[in-house]
């Protein structure tokens, strides 16, 4: 599969069987999404053949692939907020519900609800779609694929936007589908998912097939090595900071957000990385958004370097050198139609005298981030829409770092990022923290939360329920206990 001069897949051969779960693994940009999109006919392959049950398989588009029994759940969030939940689930199939020239809405609602029930969704078809969180939105997409009655279903990093509970539920759905004889392939950067449910592994690197192995014959260290092409030495996380005297940067006292989170008391010092863990909606994200000028406060006080800090807008927060990496990269982090360069310099546009944009400096800034974060792109002028998911995520981080922030607010910073790149990002964040950056991070990845943070704060029902210092060496179970 080629996109102009760029070869996303180079002579890859693979096979998929009913009742089998295959994990597709590889670095960001290795070609995993492309392989799934080719098989589901979302894009038309440049060359090569495919067969289904021994017969030529060449659907002209995604709809034809679905008719043949092949469905895909996309990596990026992909629902239409102007439509209801039921319409989103049955999208593209409304015609099947025509009766006397009209849509039979009660039947459509009933059938959409029964798909949601099949996957144990915790919301109903008549709920308001705008009120759903990212995990629930992803569930709609899984339901949409299932509603086509697929024989093969491909999940492209479907757990990247899910919390632990939702991911565990999706893993159960996959097991259930497998037991019904459905063939499954999924992409994941989470080793516990890969080793937890796959029967076989397919490893891709730079668009080429590295090989395929029964999962039980593989170790996670060896797999990481196959993916990144080198041995991962020294572990994923750089050593934590010494307890050097820190200057208080942010101080929150009795803060209550407009969404009802709080009252929260929190202190963030220069040079430290504070991680917030908690169930979705329990407060961590709201704390970040208050500091980022996205959400207002109803009570309490925030100080930045001792001065009252009450950003009226995200723009005001960025102007105070408070950078924010939001949870939804394509919805809030980047403008996909814009180039890598335009996105990296979106928050702080270098300008020359008389308000003229300084193009040379923009190029320099974006090249710096492309190098620093290892962003795989055809060049700074390439549109972000041509990047793989993990590389888009790095662009959002690059946009934050390009502003040389004093405070960095991270909402799940390594969603969809491969293991080698994660190690690199953690190294960069730690280095900046050592130079004085104050980092406040919300993460649903407990391994990341405990591995990177100097201090872990747990939120529950809009309040801080517990705080763990790095010297206390909390384990996952202890932290989870305070979330419930």
Ligand X SMILES: Nc1ncnc2c1ncn2[C@@H]1O[C@H](COP(=O)(O)OP(=O)(O)OP(=O)(O)O)[C@@H](O)[C@H]1O
Number of residues that bind ligand X (CB under 6 A): 21
Measured from the Cβ of residue 53, the count of other Cβ atoms closer than 10 Å reads 9
How near is the Cβ of 457 to ligand X at its closest, in Å? 30
Q: Quick one: which of 376, 415, 422, 455 contacts ligand X (CB under 6 A)?
A: 376
**Minimal CB distance residue for ligand X:** 390
| CB closer to ligand X out of 155 and 482 | 155
The residue range among 22-30, 83-91, 396-404, 470-478 that interacts with ligand X, by the rule CB under 6 A, is: 22-30
Site for ligand X in 201-230 (CB under 6 A): none
Token pair for 92:
């593209």
How near is the Cβ of 315 to ligand X at its closest, in Å? 30
| CB closer to ligand X out of 31 and 405 | 31
Q: What's CA 294's distance to the chain center, in Å?
A: 20
| CB closer to ligand X out of 46 and 461 | 46
- Our finding on whether 387 is near ligand X (CB under 6 A) is yes
Q: Quick one: which of 26, 59, 275, 277 contacts ligand X (CB under 6 A)?
A: 26
| CB closer to ligand X out of 6 and 18 | 6
| CB closer to ligand X out of 5 and 82 | 5
- Our finding on whether 388 is near ligand X (CB under 6 A) is yes
| CB closer to ligand X out of 8 and 70 | 8
| CB closer to ligand X out of 324 and 415 | 415
- Our finding on whether 465 is near ligand X (CB under 6 A) is no
CA atoms within 13 A on the CB side of 189: 25
| CB closer to ligand X out of 150 and 374 | 374
* Residue whose structure tokens are 């209550």: 256
- Our finding on whether 30 is near ligand X (CB under 6 A) is yes
CA separation, residue 232 to residues 166, 242, 280, 376 (Å): 29, 24, 32, 20
Task: Give the contacts of 351 (CB within 8 A, at least 6 positions apart).
Answer: 357, 358
Closest CA to 43 of 362, 293, 275, 385: 385
- Our finding on whether 343 is near ligand X (CB under 6 A) is no
Site for ligand X in 70-99 (CB under 6 A): 75
CA 127, 129, 131, 132 dihedral sign is positive
How near is the Cβ of 211 to ligand X at its closest, in Å? 16
Element (H, E) at 152: strand 152-156
| CB closer to ligand X out of 188 and 282 | 188
- Our finding on whether 399 is near ligand X (CB under 6 A) is no
| CB closer to ligand X out of 326 and 389 | 389
Site for ligand X in 31-60 (CB under 6 A): 31-34
Token pair for 438:
């104050």
Q: Is 252 exposed, middle or buried (0-12, 13-18, 19+ CB in 10 A)?
A: buried
- Our finding on whether 380 is near ligand X (CB under 6 A) is no
- Our finding on whether 329 is near ligand X (CB under 6 A) is no
Site for ligand X in 407-426 (CB under 6 A): 416, 418
Element (H, E) at 307: strand 307-308
How near is the Cβ of 433 to ligand X at its closest, in Å? 25
CA 380, 384, 387, 393 dihedral sign is positive
Q: Quick one: which of 22, 25, 28, 140 contacts ligand X (CB under 6 A)?
A: 28
Residue 11 · residue 186 · CB < 8 Å: no
How near is the Cβ of 242 to ligand X at its closest, in Å? 34
Task: Give the contacts of 2 (CB within 8 A, at least 6 positions apart).
Answer: 8, 46
**Strand-pair category, 438-442 with 407-411:** parallel
| CB closer to ligand X out of 37 and 455 | 37
Question: What stretches of 8-130 adopt beta strand conformation (E)?
Answer: 21-25, 51-52, 55-56, 70-73, 98-99, 102-103
How near is the Cβ of 429 to ligand X at its closest, in Å? 19
Token pair for 233:
């030495």
* Residue whose structure tokens are 């982090």: 333
CA separation, residue 192 to residues 171, 195, 198, 270 (Å): 11, 5, 10, 34
How near is the Cβ of 189 to ligand X at its closest, in Å? 7
- Our finding on whether 3 is near ligand X (CB under 6 A) is yes
- Our finding on whether 277 is near ligand X (CB under 6 A) is no
**3-class DSSP state for residue 156?**
strand
The residue range among 2-10, 14-22, 120-128, 404-412 that interacts with ligand X, by the rule CB under 6 A, is: 2-10
User: Is the previous residue joined to 263 through a cis bond, with omega within 30 degrees of 0?
Assistant: yes
- Our finding on whether 389 is near ligand X (CB under 6 A) is yes
| CB closer to ligand X out of 26 and 293 | 26
CA pair distance 167, 477, nearest whole angstrom: 17
Q: What's CA 405's distance to the chain center, in Å?
A: 22
How near is the Cβ of 394 to ligand X at its closest, in Å? 9
- Our finding on whether 391 is near ligand X (CB under 6 A) is yes
Q: How many residues does the chain have?
A: 484
The residue range among 24-32, 178-186, 232-240, 302-310 that interacts with ligand X, by the rule CB under 6 A, is: 24-32
**3-class DSSP state for residue 364?**
helix
Residues that bind ligand X (CB under 6 A): 3, 6, 8, 26, 28-34, 75, 376, 386-391, 416, 418
């Amino acid at each position: 599969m080629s996109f102009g001069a760029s070869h996303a897949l180079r002579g890859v051969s693979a096979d998929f069987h009913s009742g089998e779960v295959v994990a597709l693994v590889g670095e960001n940009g290795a070609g995993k999404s492309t392989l799934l999109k080719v098989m589901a006919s979302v894009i038309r392959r440049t060359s090569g053949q495919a067969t289904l049950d021994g017969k030529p398989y060449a659907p002209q588009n995604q709809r034809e692939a679905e008719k043949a029994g092949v469905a895909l759940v996309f990596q990026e969030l992909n629902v239409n907020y102007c439509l209801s939940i039921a319409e989103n689930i049955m999208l593209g199939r409304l015609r099947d519900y025509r009766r006397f020239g009209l849509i039979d809405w009660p039947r459509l609602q009933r059938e959409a609800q029964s798909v949601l029930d099949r996957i144990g969704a915790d919301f109903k078809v008549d709920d308001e779609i705008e009120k759903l969180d990212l995990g629930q939105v992803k569930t709609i997409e899984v339901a949409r694929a299932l509603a086509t009655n697929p024989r093969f279903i491909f999940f492209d990093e479907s757990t990247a936007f899910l919390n632990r509970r939702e991911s565990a539920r999706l893993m159960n759905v996959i097991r259930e589908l497998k037991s019904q004889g459905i063939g499954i392939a999924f992409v994941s950067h989470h080793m516990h998912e890969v080793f937890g449910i796959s029967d076989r592994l397919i490893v891709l690197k730079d668009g080429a097939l590295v090989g395929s192995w029964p999962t039980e014959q593989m170790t996670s260290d060896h797999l990481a090595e196959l993916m990144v092409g080198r041995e991962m030495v020294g572990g994923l996380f750089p050593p934590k900071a010494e307890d050097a005297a820190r200057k208080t940067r942010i101080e929150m006292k009795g803060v209550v957000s407009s969404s009802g989170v709080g009252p929260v008391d929190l202190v963030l010092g220069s040079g430290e990385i504070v991680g917030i863990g908690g169930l979705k909606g329990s407060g961590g994200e709201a704390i970040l958004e208050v500091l980022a000028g996205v959400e207002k406060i109803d009570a309490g006080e925030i100080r930045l370097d001792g001065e009252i800090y009450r950003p009226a807008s995200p723009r005001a927060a960025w102007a105070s050198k408070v950078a924010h990496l939001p949870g939804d990269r394509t919805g809030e982090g980047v403008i996909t139609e814009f180039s890598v360069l335009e996105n990296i310099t979106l928050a702080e546009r270098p300008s020359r005298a008389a308000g003229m944009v300084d193009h040379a400096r923009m190029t320099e800034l974006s090249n710096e981030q492309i190098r620093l974060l290892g962003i795989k792109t055809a060049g700074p002028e390439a549109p972000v829409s041509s990047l793989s998911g993990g590389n888009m995520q790095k662009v959002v981080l690059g946009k934050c770092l390009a502003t040389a922030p004093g405070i960095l607010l991270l909402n799940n910073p390594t969603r969809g990022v491969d293991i080698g790149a994660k190690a690199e990002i953690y190294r960069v964040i730690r280095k900046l923290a050592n130079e004085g950056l104050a980092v406040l991070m919300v993460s649903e990845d407990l391994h990341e939360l405990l591995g990177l943070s100097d201090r872990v704060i747990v939120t529950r029902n809009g309040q801080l329920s517990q705080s763990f210092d790095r010297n206390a060496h909390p384990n996952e179970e202890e932290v989870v206990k305070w979330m419930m």
